[in-house]
Amino acid sequence: MAIVDLRAAHWSDARRLSREGFERNPVACRCVRPVLEAAASVWFAAEGDDDAMARLLSRPNIEEHGADLLEAFYPHLALSGDAFLEAGMQDGDVRELLVLRPGRMKALKGPRGWPVGWQRRLGSDLRRISREADGFLPMMHMRLFHPASDYEGHSPLKAAARAVDVHNPSGAWPKALLDNAARPSGALVDGGAEDLKRDCCAGCERGRARCT
C-alpha cells in the first residue's frame, strides 16, 4: 500500500519573480549585481563641459546623481526585461530624468498595433504618457528581445524561474526543521496493516490522499 499526495507544484508568476529571484535568492542576486554595477560604471562621452546632455546625466533629478539613476535603470532591464526612463519637461526642454517601475506600465496600442504611448498605474491613479504635438514622446522604453511579445521584453530571470523556485524551498525546508528542534513533523511507524489502512482511508475521506 502506498499513499500518493496529488498536490501540484507552485511556480512564481511575473509579479513574484523579482522578489523570489532577486531579493530572496543569493545565487541570482550575486549573478545580477556585478553586471549591473559594471554597466552603471560605464559613462557617456560629452563633446564639452557645457554639453546640456552631460549636465542632465550628471544630475538627472533632485533626488539622484547620474550613477544612482543608472543603477536603478539597468536592474529593471535585467530583472523584468523592460526599463523605462521618463523625461520631465519644462518650457519645452528636458529638465529631469526619472526611472519608472516596469510593473506599473502598460503600452497604449495605436491603430497599427505599435505603442503610441504608455499608461502608468500608481494605486488607483492612472497617468497617460503620450506623444507631444511636435512628435516628441517623453518616455524611453528599452527592452530585451521577447520572441512572443511586441510590447514587453524577456527577462533572463524568467528563464531561471523554475530553478529559483526549486532552490528557495530547498533552503526553507531545513530552516523549518531546525526551528522545530530538528524533529520531523511526522513519521510512519509499524502499527500493523490495519492501522495503516485506517489512517489512509481517513485521509481519502478528507480528500488529501489516494490509496494505490
The per-residue DSSP string of 99-119 comes to EE-GGGEEEEE-TTSSEEEEE
Residues 6+ apart with CB under 8 A from 72: 64, 99
* pLDDT (0 to 100) of residue 1: 46
> Buried (b) or exposed (e) across 154-185, using 16+ Cβ within 10 A?
bbbbbebbeebbebbeeeeeeeeeeeeeeeee
Reduce the secondary structure of 145-183 to three states and give it as a string.
CCCCCCCCCCCHHHHCHHHHHHHHHHHHHHHHHHHCCCC
| pLDDT value of residue 15 | 63
The predicted model scores a pTM of 0.69
**Of 23, 16, 76, 87, which Cα lies nearest the Cα of 53?**
87
Grid coordinates given for 187: 513519521
Which grid cell is 137?
514622446
pLDDT in the model for residue 185: 72
Positions in the chain whose pLDDT score sits under 50: 1, 3, 6
Q: Which residues pair with 12 in a beta bridge?
A: none
Q: Residue 6: its pLDDT value, please? A: 47
Rounded to 5°, angle at Cα 204 from 203 and 206:
65
| Residue 83 CB burial class (10 angstroms; 0-12, 13-18, ≥19) | buried
pLDDT at 96: 92
Write down the pLDDT at residue 84. 94
Among the listed residues 88, 74, 77, 82, the one whose alpha carbon sits nearest the alpha carbon of residue 136: 88
In the prediction, which pLDDT does 14 show?
58
Residues contacting residue 40 through CB under 8 Å, at least 6 positions apart: 67, 70, 71, 74
